[in-house]
Amino acid sequence: MKKTKLQILTNGIIRENPVLVLVLGTCPTLAISTQAINGLGMGVSVLVVLTCSNIMISALKRIIPDTVRIPCYIVVIASFVTMVQLALKAYLPSLDKALGVYIPLIVVNCIILGRAEAFAGKNSVIDSALDGIGMGIGYTLTATVMACIRELLGSGTIFGHAVTAGTITPFTIMVMAPGGFFIFGCLIALVNKLTKGKVKEKQQNKCLGCPGAALCSHVQEGGAEE
Amino acid sequence: MSAAAVFYIVLSAIITNNYVLSKFLGICPFLGVSKKLNSAMGMSIAVIFVMVIATAVTWPIQTYLLTPNGIGYMQTIIFILVIAALVQMIEIFLKKYIPALHKSLGIYLPLITTNCAILGVCVLNIDNGYGFLQSMLNSFGSGVGFLLAMFLFAGVRSKIETNDYPEAFKGVASTLIAASITSLCFLGFSGMLENIFGM
């Protein structure tokens, strides 16, 4: 069954949400979701890189030899990341400072390499662009929602506007590392509950989403046999 | 560099600024390969190994090649390519000359290219303005910190696997909550080293 254009676009937003269902790209999501504005900024950066690299890789798929495709994908992705990095430095220096090292780290974000490997390398340019936009929106929404929750609980604000000031004392732990893991765990449990465990199978096979999985078949079972 | 400064850099990279539990770098292997203790150890040792070698290569490239020529913005592209090539070379070298080590670390090496902790440590060393020796110490400490986090977490996971918790939390969700508690323990160390070393 061939998917319609709309299905490809919406696939990444809900059914195969890269963060909550495929559990890809957890590192930056956890790290930058301390303030809603950072979550949004990171989300849009990933959206741009993902869409551009999907288009480029899909257009080049006949030229890139199969054996060296991963290094080629990485070069394409790294070029777009550098462009985004320079653009942020020039126009949004405060966001660039807040996101810091996590901008260059978009290169090794498994969402992007994962989509290149799983989708853009096999599909047409337009489909790949739609997939990139859908996955990017899915990522942006998740990162922003998670950042809103953490910002609200941890500092009592949303996008910098005071919400609970004077009524609830914010508990700072939520904007620190343990709060990130905790909220993320709760969000995934919520998705499990809402979908009645339908997505859990995909989460269990998280190695399949990892671009390294193709290179290393042993780690899937949870480790080497000694 | 005084002995106190050496200890300060290494210990703060291991404990207070732990890469996994406070900077969220290398979460994928942390969640994915921590089911069994021996595979967690294998992965961590491979990470320490590659982290130190990658820093030894990328720091001089940035300092003597990119910065003097005004192409510092190429950092991301050059670093990821250098790391990818390096991992490949280490694998070939180990296979040929130290087969025993290749047997135990080999399967983890391909995964390390896309491990954000490696690229992260290389970029952060430059961003923080560390000198060569400081960078090497920081990388080694970060690697050991990764090992410590993996070691502790593999233990925690082996305990929680058999427990009975709500259906929705089974799988990744419970693992993340456990990671949250492990990270809370590490938070207890914050400020400790500053007091001891007076920095």
The predicted model scores a pTM of 0.84
CA nearest to A205 within chain B: B32
Give me the residues of B, 19-38, that contact A with CB < 8 A: 21-28, 31-33, 35-36, 38
- Asked if the Cβ–Cβ distance from B170 to A192 is below 8 Å, we say yes
Q: Do the domain assignments include residue A143?
A: yes
Would residue A188 count as lying in a domain? Answer: yes
Interface test with B, best of A32, A89, A101 (most B CBs within 10 A): A101
Structural domain spans, chain B: 3-197
Give the total number of structural domains in chain A: 1
Q: Average pLDDT for residues A16-27, to the nearest whole number?
A: 79
- Residue at B12: amino acid letter: S
At residue B54, the pLDDT reads 92
- What ipTM, to 2 d.p.? 0.84
Helices then strands (H, E): number in chain B? Answer: 10, 0
Element (H, E) at B94: helix B75-97
**Calpha distance B176→B182 (Å, rounded):** 10
Q: Looking at the predicted structure, is the pLDDT value of residue A198 above 70?
A: no
Q: Which chain B residues are Cβ-neighbours of A186 within 8 angstroms?
A: 173, 177
Question: Can you give the residue range of the structural domain that contains A60?
Answer: 10-209
Domain-located, residue A215: no
Which of A30, A109, A190 lies nearest to residue B24, judging by beta carbons?
A: A30
Q: Tell me what pLDDT residue B99 has.
A: 84
Q: Is B74 on the interface with A (CB under 8 A)?
A: yes
Q: Chain A residues with CB inside 8 Å of B177's CB?
A: 181-182, 185-186
For A150-178, the pLDDT digits (tens) are 988 888 888 878 777 777 778 888 888 88
Shortest CA distance to B167 belongs to which of A45, A192, A204, A19? A192
Q: What is the dihedral of CA A142, A77, B145, A101, to 10 degrees?
A: -70
